[in-house]
């Protein structure tokens, strides 16, 4: 069974790392983005999906299959990918699994509830570091062994 890496590429900071590692192992990559983003790649197939809430997410889940690798920061997409038997990796290098996805989805829900109740905005994500990139690359290189 051929493995493909699918990347939820809208604002994904690790696209080039995915491509570099996939090229080394001769694994095809599909970058999915909406019409608000222009992407080009000398290695990956780029699929531009129509604008709309969750359009890219739905397309990604429809394309991925058992054994594929999905790179996303969206816990909902990760949960659906796991449900299809795909492997899912956050751009931080965190591996999504059946053991941690329920807790992550609950954390996401609680954060959403807190944002609705508060007039103060929560801080955004911290700035990406070289260590984040190194950790992610290691995770992608060992994806089949770790998941």
Print pLDDT tens along the chain (147 aa).
689 999 999 888 999 999 999 999 999 999 999 988 889 999 999 999 987 879 999 999 999 999 999 999 999 999 999 999 999 999 988 899 999 887 788 887 787 887 788 766 666 677 888 888 888 888 888 775 544
pTM for the full predicted model: 0.84
Burial class (CB in 10 A: 0-12, 13-18, 19+), 80: buried
Q: What is the fold of 5-140?
A: Rossmann fold (3.40.50)
Residue 88 and residue 81: Cα distance in Å, rounded? 7
Residue ranges per structural domain of the chain: 5-140
């Amino acid at each position: 069974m051929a493995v493909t890496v699918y990347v939820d590429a809208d604002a994904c900071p690790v696209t080039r790392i995915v491509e570099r590692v996939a090229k080394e192992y001769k694994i095809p990559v599909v970058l999915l983005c909406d019409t608000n983003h222009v992407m080009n790649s000398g290695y990956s197939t780029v699929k531009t999906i129509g604008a709309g809430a969750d359009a890219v997410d739905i397309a990604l889940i429809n394309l991925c299959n058992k054994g594929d690798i999905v790179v996303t920061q969206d816990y909902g997409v990760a949960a659906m990918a796991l449900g299809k038997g795909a492997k899912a990796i956050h751009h931080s290098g965190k591996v999504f699994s059946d053991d941690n996805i329920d807790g992550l989805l609950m954390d996401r829900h609680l954060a959403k509830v807190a944002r609705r109740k508060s007039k103060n905005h929560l801080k955004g994500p911290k700035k990406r570091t070289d260590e984040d990139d190194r950790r992610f690359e290691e995770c992608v290189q060992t994806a089949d062994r770790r998941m």
